[in-house]
Amino acid sequence: MEKFVIQGGVPLKGKLKVRGAKNSALPLMCASILAEGKSHLLNVPHLMDIVTMQQVLEGLGVRVSRKDRTLEIDSTNLSGYQAPYELIKKMRASILVLGPLLARYGKAEICLPGGCCIGRRPVNLHLEGLRKLGARIKVKRGYIEAYTNGLKGNSVHFDLPSVGATENLMLSACLSEGETVIRNASLTPEVVDLARFLREMGAEIQGEGTSVIRISGVQRLRPARHSIIPDRITAGTLIMAIIASGGEATLEGIRPDHLGIIFTKLREIGTEIEVNG
């Protein structure tokens, strides 16, 4: 069995640049297939989930190449609507291909992602939202089969502010007919980043970062170039490790506005934090 052996008691010091957020990169990779052509995502971290999503897209006919921290995603030859079972089952975020495939093809078939069960780690919010837009969805023997003759905008109210369900509805609503209103939407920075990327692609979106997001469907989106936001979870974890070890360090490339409550509470207990830029 592999293991980490950590010798503690040493203050952490130095300088480190925080990587891009995996939880932003994954939905943006899925968003790229909404437009025909080459999109470029910058500041993409080197992680297995990113590799798995790349393989999912390649299984659908998309060409994906990486140079350093930049991904080029060319969906010109997107040719499939059946996402590879052996890849989808590995990662929960892979359900985010469902909305884009429905929007472009009018059909999609994927297995329940990441080994989840509808009752235990529910994907029902995703499916109920897509049904509100006119998708016909069946779940049988561990597979999701979805079809539509054309998605139409509607008002969708989530029982809880699910990040993934909010993202899937945003992805599908961009090419739907009419206006979609998502209520009790997730407020997270990753949802905001997705909205900004979709807007760069030509989508008409308002309200990201609030509980109500409005999307007016358009006929076509275009490829775009976008830099992924820094990973707030990584940044917060590193900050806590530095403090716990009694160290002093510099973290580069973070977004202070994504760490506001952490900074507030740490200053309350006497931690010295200096923000530049």
Give the strand pairing for 155-157 and 179-183. Answer: parallel
Burial 43-65 (b: 16+ CB within 10 A, else e): bbbeeebbebbbebbebbebebe
Residue 250, CB-side half-sphere exposure with 13 Å CA sphere: 7
Contact call for residues 175 and 218 (beta carbons, < 8 A): yes
Residue in 30, 111, 116, 117 annotated catalytic: 116
Count CA atoms within 13 Å of residue 69 on its CB side.
Answer: 16
Do residues 13 and 247 touch, judged by C-beta distance below 8 A? yes
116 is catalytic: yes
The answer to whether 212 and 180 are in contact (CB under 8 A) is no
Measured CA to CA, the distance from residue 215 to residue 104 in angstroms comes to 17
* CA separation for the pair 271, 30 (Å, rounded): 39
Residue keyed to tokens 């990587």 = 19
Nearest Cα residue to 193 out of 43, 37, 17: 43
Task: Give the residue from 235, 250, 241 showing the smallest Cα distance to 6.
Answer: 241
Which residue, among 9, 18, 15, 56, has the nearest Cα to 235 in the 3D structure? 18
Please list the active-site residues.
116
